[in-house]
A and B are shown apart, each in its own frame.
Chain A
């Protein structure tokens, strides 16, 4: 200290300095001050500050440390005092006389007189402190050495030793955590670097594979197209032949039915069907009176016909009405069974979709799009339906098999390509993330952390989203998805911001700020909702242990 006074003398102890200080104050003060001093001495002890109870508080090392030019003139009793800001020069007796003369408050370092003053507590055993002058003698114990309440009657105890001890312990603990955390962080940094390299390599590999796959897909597509041409032609030929066969068979069948009918209708077996014979078949009635009249029969038939003419001409007219004999009135077709309600199936589908979505979210997406549709069960053919086409001949079948194989191979290659692309996209995204200056936060990328409170379970999935789920049932609420690093400029990685969560009634969308602090484990330690729908979460992580432990921290103590 430039003044040559050791800090230990300041502030002077009350018991020692009371008398002399007072005397000096009285002597140096204007006469009215002395008078005031005299009166005030009579006021109750232990109440508020009395003007005369002159106290002299050293400002401590701080101002000197600030390198003020007049340092060595500070508070020297023999000289007038010049305010530190130079605003005034006053008699030394006016220093610490409980009246503010300097605009900067520098004349009253030991009293509450100046609105902008500071009071220095040495706080031996703990850290020194400069408190606002307004806290001097205000009845609240601010300095742990109790020096700020020298005249208020407040019963303050010197707690510096205890505070110092606790602080040291806490600092030690913090230092240990910081040290251990820093070590862990270094490992995380290494892992991140290794992981990054590994990912980049993987990416390189994947990109390589993609190129190969792209080529292969191209080749296979051409092969598929080449195989499908002959396949299509053979199948068409097969189809054409089959249809011809079916037409011929149908014609033969119809002729046979006509002949049968002729035989039935020709009741007298004379090889001709006559009008009279037709009239025995009421189902052939055309005017709806339930019987076939002479005229009707005549109109249908004209002249009696033989088998060939019947087949060619009359059969086409009556075939839909004609019923072979012996067959009863056709019963109406049985009512169709009511359509089965299908929701269950739909639900299943929805579930499937939901699952698919989940899968997608989980990043296992590529496969689902290539999912083979469930095989169609060949439905049982009703007797009226045409018989199944005959199997392909061996040559056609060989072409089909070849084409099918080409298709499958292409599909497989495409699937592999898509998979590779997905992986590349995910990797690129991850690699593009800002995981801190040394990538130390990258390990959080695929993790989630939970914290339960009395009402909710909060879930933080770093770089993804924050959510809240009621403990006693109810839907999850989105408290925000990853936005950005949100710490102050010099310390950007000390906080994360998650935004655009579920909207609030009459308010904004929910958002969460996650504050990161150094710890040896990774855990969410607290969550609060300081403002409606604005959440604050605390995450401890070794990645936040940025400073290597130093020994300076607790040197002050």
Chain B
């Protein structure tokens, strides 16, 4: 929702003199302005880190310093060039996870360790030393048979299971830990980054001329204090030449001050970055580390920039590009036909990730040749992480299955919050619905055109002068009455509450924040102010728990005037976006609670905003009701607080296409509740694109249409009756499948499985699926291949699974797998296939909103496997409260089909929930015509069921079993 240029242009509208400027903007606004954002070369620490080439690591493990505690093993590492000692900590965590932490043994100041992301201190396994020799040490990591081999010199670690090497750490010698140091005033420290690269080149030249020059020793001598701290018995090794890059770190220009464009970053703590490499033998496919506008499978970064993780408000982002976007999750997955593995790099500072591969660029034939000649290396992917500050804190998630890895990640950072049911319905948004009449008219449109809709959204213009928590008195004079009118139709509303607060002494929120000292501070101690929607704005310090508690209290009905229990929240611009700041965000030397620099925790800010807002919604209901908060920025753990979306996309086919890999990557990183603005935020979609986007969006977890202020209206009925009917059909499909979606979300909430998954998660051994990102699974039962091509006549759908079958949900036609199926499409087609062997629950009485469908009867779609079996489940509760958790008020039903009998039983006897809902219909796909069908209730006599059988498609429809959905029963086909 980048609105700055527009704001300016609006002013320009009234002042012809500014028209030229606006025209200039117009030209610049067509695509992302890359010069606003740093490349690795322009980011001092990334340049320093990346300047370090693979080679012999200067670090040595002091094996004799090993201390084996009840939880962790600790030993020292020393950089033989600087002699600064580091502390290496190793944990074997329950559930196949190894944690590695490296920090300074004696830091002159504390270094930032990321709080509030791990859900708990993970339970540990007992470690044991299982082997030891001259230069190495072997640790057993618990009962799973994993062992860690620590090599003394150069320091490296190898993680093995049995004889198989899973992962090596620092195998390429790229551990680079910039210890804290005192400032030395020298010329080079003041060279800004813009001339840094030049300086670098000059120096490199100089170096080549005088190879014997030991600048590192000079540096070390100047840091005598640290040297003494590092004093060990190994001083004899000093003669060994340190690697060039490590040595240069002490000399690197821009280490104590860095300038980008007009912004200077005073770096009072100097260079503080950390970097480390991981080698993954046997892996050719890596995924994750959202948010990037990128294919599902990550590409190698050699020859370009690394993937960047730094939450930024990027205006009109480009596709297939490693640039940073609004959110960051430093979690990467590697997958092969044999196993899946994850690396979680717990660091909230600006982070860059380099990916390289020894097979990149090789053709399949080339790989085959290597293999046949026996000389080929094992395929291997190397991943290198580089962060600007903090410590090395990394979790190796050893799987071995995809579900195990996502489960392990969820055990660390939490699972997806179970959304209130309404949030899975359709959301109608626009920047902006102008006033109460406008809202009423749009709502009426949904009624008149029979398009279900759960939520109407209000963007920034609803507030009084962008003062969040208020309403524009002329446009929204009676918000409560408006909300009540919507609530009478069982609909909700979301209003935007951004974290930039207008600096205005007449604004209560600002006055309280200022008087309580709750704003982020500048390096000089004043309140940090920047330019954002309201003009001059200050930024509440969400890292301060007291501030968060205060913020949460603002959502009480008497604090947020005009709010009701059907009003929910959208946190936008929480990267944070600062129009006047470097890279449109906050200065890195701004100061947070506890004295931490913004640099240390930048990527965490957005998570805290959503956390505090969600907490506010819980509190306002006395802890009863589940919150709904949408956030643009995120970090590892944000899944615990609500939904996220892919930000300000564009009404173009390529943007529709990329919404799939983007949300798949979000899901792998724990963020299941993902969506993209349906229709595209910028520009005007043509009708065909809009229809296709609705069809695709209906099968993505978060389903919201949204549009820029400058776009033409595009509510579903504005493109002619034919298109309205197509959109209506798409939205109705979504509503009919809500029980299935809700159950998938419950599974995600319980087990950390993504709701929307890559095919390889369900078919991990099928290498053909590894790079597919134009189709995907919803939970384990539905395969979706939305039409994302203009003028498409058909799509190629890959159906995975040897010996499996799939049923087209529209025609019920059965297809054998594996195969690539050509599916002809019309404008009404949304290719979706139900996997043979699954049961999908639906509610086919689609109504105006989810709340209206509560208690409606269910239909079960039983798709038989070639073996004549199927299973599936259904989760059901009140859809809005925490009672499922606190009072076990829920139903989790299991449906199993085997031996011509469909059986309903409890999947979880702990839960119970009273519902009038009953079983309306059973549709069995892939079965012959029975002579009779008998219903056997748990208590009561057998009864016969009426049925219909379509011989052509082998579909059997059982009429009105009528049993309550919570009951146990069996249906027998005879």
Contact = CB atoms under 8 A, between A and B. Distances in A.
Interface of A: 30-33, 35-37, 39-40, 43-44, 47-51, 97-99, 112-113, 115, 132, 134-135, 138-141, 454, 470, 474-475, 477, 502, 504-507, 528-534
A31 B943 contact: yes
B946 interface: yes
A30 B710 contact: no
Nearest to B845: A112
Given A35-B943, A529-B434, A51 B851 contact: no
Contact of A138 (B848, B959, B962): B848
A506 B846 contact: no
Tell me whether chain B's interface is mostly helix, strand or loop, or mixed: loop
A115 B845 contact: yes
B790 interface: no
Contact of A134 (B711, B712, B846, B960): B846
Interface in B508-567: none
Interface in B914-955: 914, 916-918, 920-921, 935, 937, 940-941, 943-946
B290 to A, nearest CB: 29
B438 A528 contact: yes
B521 to A, nearest CB: 37
B792 interface: no
Contact of B22 (A454, A477, A505): A505
Contact of A506 (B26, B712, B847): B26
A531 B848 contact: no
B31 to A, nearest CB: 13
B851 A139 contact: yes
Contact of A36 (B14, B846, B963): B963
A414 to B, nearest CB: 39
- By CB atoms of chain A within 10 A, which of B848, B916, B963 has the most? B916
Given A43-B916, A50-B916, A113-B845, 15 more contacts: A35-B941, A39-B940, A40-B916, A44-B914, A48-B855, A50-B918, A99-B921, A115-B844, A139-B854, A141-B488, A505-B13, A505-B22, A506-B29, A528-B434, A533-B710
Given A138-B852, A506-B29, A35 B937 contact: yes
B847 A134 contact: yes
Given A33-B962, A140-B852, A504 B844 contact: no
B346 to A, nearest CB: 42
- By CB atoms of chain B within 10 A, which of A35, A135, A475 has the most? A35
Interface stretch (B4-12, B203-211, B355-363, B694-702): B4-12
27 contacts: A31-B943, A32-B935, A32-B944, A32-B945, A32-B961, A33-B962, A35-B962, A36-B918, A39-B963, A39-B964, A40-B916, A40-B964, A47-B916, A48-B917, A134-B450, A134-B845, A139-B854, A140-B490, A141-B488, A454-B474, A470-B14, A502-B13, A505-B10, A505-B12, A505-B26, A507-B710, A528-B438
B129 interface: no
B856 interface: yes
A229 to B, nearest CB: 55
Contacts of B478: none
B713 interface: yes
Contacts of B962: 32-33, 35-37, 39-40, 51
Interface residues of B, number: 57
Contacts of B12: 505
A529 B430 CA distance: 14
A532 B845 contact: no
Contacts of A37: 962
Contacts of B935: 32
B25 to A, nearest CB: 8
B944 A31 contact: yes
Contacts of A140: 488-490, 848, 852
Nearest to B23: A505
A134 B848 contact: yes
A167 B16 CA distance: 51
Contacts of B712: 531-532, 534
A532 B9 CA distance: 13
Contacts of B944: 30-32
Tell me whether chain A's interface is mostly helix, strand or loop, or mixed: loop
B6 A48 contact: no
B737 interface: no
Contacts of B128: none
A132 to B, nearest CB: 6
B847 A138 contact: yes
A67 B281 CA distance: 77
Nearest to A134: B847
B87 interface: no
B943 A32 contact: yes
A97 B848 CA distance: 22
B709 interface: yes
A532 B846 contact: no
Contacts of A507: 710
Nearest to A502: B13
Given A30-B946, A532-B710, A48 B22 contact: no
A176 to B, nearest CB: 25
Contact of A51 (B434, B710, B960): B960
Contacts of B852: 134, 138-140
Nearest to A133: B845
B880 to A, nearest CB: 14
- By CB atoms of chain B within 10 A, which of A44, A454, A502, A505 has the most? A505
Interface string B848-861: 10011111110000
B918 A40 contact: yes
Given A39-B964, A43-B916, A506 B713 contact: no
B943 A30 contact: yes
Contacts of A504: 13, 710
A31 B940 CA distance: 11
Contact of A505 (B710, B845, B916, B918): B710
Contact of A43 (B846, B921, B964): B964
B475 to A, nearest CB: 9
A531 B853 CA distance: 33
7 closest A-B pairs by CB: A32-B943, A36-B962, A48-B855, A505-B9, A138-B852, A47-B916, A48-B916
A66 B742 CA distance: 43
A474 B943 contact: no
Interface string B21-48: 0100110010000000000000000000
Given A48-B917, A139-B852, A506 B845 contact: no
B456 to A, nearest CB: 15
Nearest to B941: A35
Given A47-B855, A48-B917, A33 B960 contact: yes
A475 B14 contact: yes
Nearest to A33: B962
A109 to B, nearest CB: 15
Nearest to B715: A530
B844 to A, nearest CB: 7
Contacts of A30: 943-946
A44 B915 CA distance: 9
B127 to A, nearest CB: 56
- By CB atoms of chain B within 10 A, which of A112, A113, A531 has the most? A531
A44 B855 CA distance: 12
- By CB atoms of chain A within 10 A, which of B846, B847, B921, B940 has the most? B847
Contacts of B917: 48
Contacts of A534: 712-713
A49 B967 CA distance: 17
Given A43-B916, A139-B490, A530-B438, A99 B14 contact: no
Contacts of B960: 33, 36, 51, 97, 99
B7 to A, nearest CB: 10
A33 B22 CA distance: 71
Contacts of A528: 434, 437-438
Interface string B469-487: 0000010000000000000
A530 B713 contact: yes
A111 B236 CA distance: 90
Nearest to A152: B855
